[in-house]
Amino acid sequence: MNMKIFLLAAALLTGCAAPKAWYKDGNNRDQFERDKAECFAKAYQAVPPLPSPPPAQVTGYNSDCYRSGQNVYCTTTPQIGRSDNLMDSFYRGQAQADNSIGRDAMANSCLYSKGYYLK
């Protein structure tokens, strides 16, 4: 039982560790920024962001009316929705619609290939 508690505590504390930074022996900050910019430019070309989903469109109107004496008062509000087509289903199903996970992985791989490491 104590071992389970220890492992759980270790797992939780590992998640709270300080963020890692990129290092390369004999390198300076300016060179790192140039290499990082080059890697992210390549990653954006290879894994571009997905286009934004189509905007919502007015599909109808709802009117609510009530009578007060001889007068009738109405409030009309638009119904907002998207057509149920394949692209809408695609956007609703995307967990990471902007491709940032793949793009970041590719940029990190590029930095590793240039001799950088996380510390």
Reported as a single tens digit per residue, the pLDDT across 39-58 is 999 998 998 877 766 667 77
Domain ranges of the chain: 19-50+100-119, 53-93
Neighbours of 20 (CB within 10 A): 9
Number of C-alpha atoms within 13 angstroms, CB side, residue 27? 17
pLDDT in tens, 72-97: 989 988 887 755 555 555 554 454 55
pLDDT in tens, 10-40: 555 555 555 689 999 888 899 999 999 999 9
Predicted local confidence at residue 95, as pLDDT: 42
